[in-house]
Amino acid sequence: MPILQPKLEIPLSTRELPAPIMFRSAYVPAAGLYPEHQHAWGEFVYAFSGVMEVKVAGHHYLAPPQYGIWLPPDVEHVGLNRYEAHHCSLYLSPAACAALPRQPCALTVSPPCACLAGTPAANGCAPSLQCSARAPATSIGGPIGQRAQRWQLLAHFGRPATGAVLRMLEKQPGDNRSLPELAQAAHTTERTLMRRCQRDLGMSLADWRQRLRVVKAMPLLEAGQTVETIALDLGYGSASSFITMFKRLVGATPDEFRKGAAGRSVRPQL
């Protein structure tokens, strides 16, 4: 696994950024890893392509393109990606973080990529961030544009029963075993598994499994695999059922998402 280091002009021990808002864009190879670190400023990790992952506070979060992960100041975290990815980190000084959530959560950029895809000074605009985790929307440097779709971070928890099932499904996202069968495999009861999933994930296991499949599908769509192949690999009986689920969660069909991903693959001039 390649060990990556953020290319910053200031050391991580510095308490203040040279500017209230800073950008860093990077292409990272498959299986890339940013070792555990922390900094005094907030960070919004956004993927132009690929799926970004962050381990923080014993939890493992995944966020596909169009969505990102907000990390408040002084939070220890590990960054990684399973597949090749192109990401942008938006760094915010502690003062600029005051109105933002104090816990890691999902954020979206509004309008998507418009300000991150070019030089902010040239565009004459600054990004707007919106929290999608049931918190009030917060604007940075300008008004929030169109209303972003809600998206819950796909979390992996280390608690025994829940964590065992989530790990099984992550390794085999096309696994169509029923809830009772999964509970038995994790040496727990169906009722206990249902209760813990709702408590730990904030949603049912069925809803989490659909989100997992969306996250798994996105890099495959970007890589050019057919919708039919992806649908079958993810456990769907037909492409149409996969397309219906994908559009309901993402707000776009797989082909529409693929076209948008192709547009995001253009290297921004940062």
28-61: pLDDT as tens digits:
888 888 889 999 999 988 877 777 788 887 777 7
- The better pLDDT of the pair 151, 114 is held by 151
Looking at the predicted structure, is the pLDDT value of residue 265 above 90? no
> What is the model's pLDDT at position 177?
96
Query: What pLDDT, in 10s, does the model give residues 67-93?
Result: 678 899 999 999 888 778 888 888 999
The reply to whether the predicted model has a pTM over 0.75 is no
Are the C-beta atoms of residues 89 and 43 closer than 8 Å to each other? yes
Query: Rg of the chain's alpha carbons, rounded to an integer?
Result: 19
> What is the model's pLDDT at position 124?
33
> Which residues make up the CATH 1.10.10.60 domain(s) of the chain?
157-261
Query: What pLDDT, in 10s, does the model give residues 204-217?
Result: 899 889 988 988 89
> What is the model's pLDDT at position 4?
66
Tokens linked to 156? 């992996």
> What is the model's pLDDT at position 153?
54
3-state secondary structure of 35: strand
Query: What pLDDT, in 10s, does the model give residues 153-192?
Result: 566 665 677 888 988 998 999 999 999 999 999 999 999 9
Q: How far apart are CA 91 and CA 71, in angstroms?
A: 10
Provide, rounded to the nearest whole percent, the portion of the chain with pLDDT above 90.
27
Tokens linked to 96? 């600029």
Q: How far apart are CA 207 and CA 155, in angstroms?
A: 12
Identify the burial level of 66 via C-beta atoms within 10 angstroms of its C-beta, where 0-12 means exposed, 13-18 middle and 19 or more buried.
buried
Are the C-beta atoms of residues 100 and 133 closer than 8 Å to each other? no
Looking at the predicted structure, is the pLDDT value of residue 140 above 60? no
Q: How far apart are CA 28 and CA 170, in angstroms?
A: 22
> What is the model's pLDDT at position 108?
60
Tell whether domain 21-131 is in CATH 1.20.1420.20.
Answer: no
- The better pLDDT of the pair 97, 131 is held by 97
> Which residues make up the CATH 2.60.120.10 domain(s) of the chain?
21-131
CA 49 to chain centre: 11
Class at the top of the CATH hierarchy for domain 157-261: mainly alpha
Taking Cα atoms as reference points, which of 135, 128, 125, 65 lies closest to residue 104? 135
Looking at the predicted structure, is the pLDDT value of residue 149 above 60? no
Looking at the predicted structure, is the pLDDT value of residue 114 above 50? no
